[in-house]
Amino acid sequence: MMTVSATGVLTPPTVLPSKPWFQRPALQVETLVLLCVGFLLLSGNGPFWRAALAGRGWGLAATWGFAVALLTAFSAFYFAFLALLATRLTVRPLLSVLVLCTAFASWYMDHYAIYMDRAMLRNVLATNVNEARELFVWGMLPHLLLLGVLPAALVWWPQLKRRSLGRALAVRLGWLAAALAVGTASLLLVFADFASLMRNHKEVRYLLTPGNVVAALAGNALGGVQRPSQPKLPVGEDARLGASWSGRTRPVMFVLIVGETARAQNFSLNGYARQTNPLLARQDVINFPHATACGTSTEVSLPCMFSPYGRIHYDEEKIRAHESVLHVLARAGFKVLWRDNQSGCKGVCDGLPAEQLDDAKVEALCAEGHCLDEVLLQGMEGVARDTQGNLLVVMHQLGSHGPAYFKRYPAVFRQFAPACQNEDLSACTAAEIVNAYDNSLLYTDFFVSKVIDFLVGAQQQYDTAMVYVSDHGESLGEGGLYLHGMPYPIAPEVQKRVPLVMWLSPGFRRSFNIDQECLRTNAGAEVSHDNLFHSLLGVLDVQTLAYDKSLDLFAPCRPAPTPVVALNGLEKAH
Ligand SMILES: [Zn+2]
């Protein structure tokens, strides 16, 4: 408003000099941490809040009481944790990293309903550059910018108040004590509810972000420190070839295909309505329709399926510390070769010959840093020709590794259409996702069948056999779940049920005395990854105390030469 002065001249109103709007506010380190913690808990924890408050009515005061108490308690505990690390110098980088991690993790947890536990994080960290590139999808960019980059930048805006060292310590201790007191008090207020939530839905702790990421990182770091440097503890030190080897005329070539993310339900060999196994259906294979995986991720399943412990005696530390069945077979005299088209053998083949083929430069099979699984057969003629004696080759497929199912097969296998052509599954319909996934199985069918054809061709030189088994299954949107890696106790069947298929050449069956029809009759039983260790030793007649006949799928179908047994029995009786 203009005023007229005594001199009759119009003058602007006197305005008090105010701070410019962009002036940086001054905050205590503690205030900045508290603001950030509140933001993380509210912006990055949709799945946690939905799970923690599931089944409660929003009209009830008790629901709000529970929610506010949890929010207060977790804010206080997050604050207390960060208060141990945050100084004027470290607080900004620390909070920025947490904000970015939370934004990234929460997008995945929201979109694919995954749980961030140690195994899942190891999966993410163990993926190679190309798989990591596939983890980034353009659809996540707005979410990352709004809830990650922008708030991470805002952390650098305020000025931080200075305090003398003594005063800073005193203030920090005060805050810390207050936070612990408030956190504990809030939890005690709703303790009965909270305890029942933790008892009945333990897995919700894997949804609390970024605590889940930090805990998993710390767990992996602590657990991983001693592992790689320590040599593996021996298994089956007494391993040697059994009696059936004395009269053998040809060496053995055994191929074990470790499939990736193939679920039993979508194999037409197991009754799936779509023909996803047209080629294997024409091969003389034995199919096991009821096979269960040891884990729901490569990181868990791979070490477990090759170990003597299995799911029954599952102990991650023990499994990683000990040798695998491949070491036992190598000790008995097999040349073992691991050929990999994925993220490595996860310690299973440590110290044994291994070839990483996923970045091979085979023009017809490789593009954008990925190769089709046929690359695993490249050069096998040479391997077979140059090997003296018995050969066990493990082929680790890329299989149906998601979410980019459409990149796992060449165009001629695009038979179920329209197929999802996007790494961001939320951009596709449910049917398109299943189509792309089924096309990838169709290619696996082709690949496994091609391996069998190769082994048929090698029969002159070798007694040949093949076992194909996937490492875990996959969720394709059932119940809102995608991909895999759910904690085992709550994982859906589709993530745990895997295809298991065998093929034994006539020469192999004859020389190892295996009754194929008996195997086929027994194949309908419940079997699992736990059978692999003992079945490999059993079928190849490797004798060791580590072998457990009751878990050997071949043992019931190896008819003993009866007259000899009777004679031996008589001799013993006398
Ligand atoms: Zn896997």
The model's pLDDT over 38-51, given as tens digits with 9 standing for 90+, comes to 999 999 998 899 88
Distance 262 CA to ligand 1 centre (A): 9
Give dist(CA 335, CA 252) in Å, integer.
10
**Ligand 1 centroid – CA 200 distance (Å):** 28
Q: 486 CA to middle of ligand 1, Å?
A: 12
**290: Cβ–Cβ under 8 A, 6 or more apart, which residues?**
264, 497, 524, 525, 526, 527
Taking the centre of ligand 1 as the mean of its atom positions, its distance from the CA of residue 509, in whole angstroms, is 31
Q: What 3-state DSSP class applies to 212? A: helix
Neighbours of ion ligand 1 (CB under 5 A): 260, 298, 471
What does the pLDDT look like over 298-307, one tens digit per residue? 999 999 999 9
How many whole angstroms from 383 Cα to the centroid of ligand 1? 26
Compute the distance from residue 473 Cα to the ligand 1 centre, in Å: 8
Distance CA 179, CA 185 (A): 10
Expressed in angstroms and rounded, the spacing between residue 540 Cα and the centre of ligand 1 is: 26
Ligand 1 center from residue 124 Cα (angstroms): 11
Pairwise CA distance, residues 124 & 127, whole Å: 6
Residue 437 has pLDDT above 80, yes or no: yes
Distance 234 CA to ligand 1 centre (A): 26
Q: Which residues is 543 bridged to in the sheet? A: 240
Lowest pLDDT segment from 14-18, 162-166, 267-271: 14-18
Please give the biggest Cα pair distance in the chain: 140
d(CA 214, CA 117): 10
State phi, psi for 254 to the nearest 5 degrees.
-120, 125
Q: Is 310 left (phi over 0), alpha (psi -120 to 50) or beta?
A: left
Instruction: Report the separation in Å between the CA atom of 305 and the middle of ligand 1, taken as the mean of its atom positions.
Output: 12
Q: Determine if the pTM surpasses 0.85.
A: no
| Cα 176 from Cα 170, distance rounded (Å) | 10
Check pLDDT > 90 for residue 274: yes
Q: Is 518 exposed, middle or buried (0-12, 13-18, 19+ CB in 10 A)?
A: middle
Q: Is 6 exposed, middle or buried (0-12, 13-18, 19+ CB in 10 A)?
A: exposed
How far apart, in whole angstroms, are the C-alpha atoms of residue 42 and residue 51? 14
* Alpha carbon distances (Å) from 526 to 249, 345, 466, 472, 534: 35, 26, 20, 16, 16
Partner residues linked to 340 by β-bridges: 356, 396
Could you tell me the end-to-end alpha-carbon distance of the chain, in angstroms, rounded to an integer?
125
Ligand 1 center–CA 470 separation, angstroms: 8
> What are the pLDDT digits (tens) for 18-30?
666 668 889 999 9
Structure tokens belonging to residue 49 = 């809040």
Contacts for 169-176: CB closer than 8 Å, 24+ residues apart: 171/28, 171/30, 172/30, 172/83, 175/30, 175/79, 175/83, 176/80, 176/83, 176/84
Report the separation in Å between the CA atom of 285 and the middle of ligand 1, taken as the mean of its atom positions.
23
DSSP 8-state code for residue 528: E
Report which of 312, 291, 302 is spatially closest to residue 256, judged by C-alpha positions: 302
pLDDT in tens, 367-423: 888 899 999 999 999 999 988 899 999 999 999 998 999 999 999 999 999 999 998
Written as one letter, the residue type at 265 is: Q
Could you give the count of Cα atoms lying within 13 Å of 400 in the half-sphere of its Cβ? Answer: 36
How far does residue 54's CA lie from ligand 1's centre (Å)? 30
Q: Reply yes or no on whether the pLDDT at 129 is more than 70.
A: no
CA of 138 to the centre of ligand 1 (A): 24
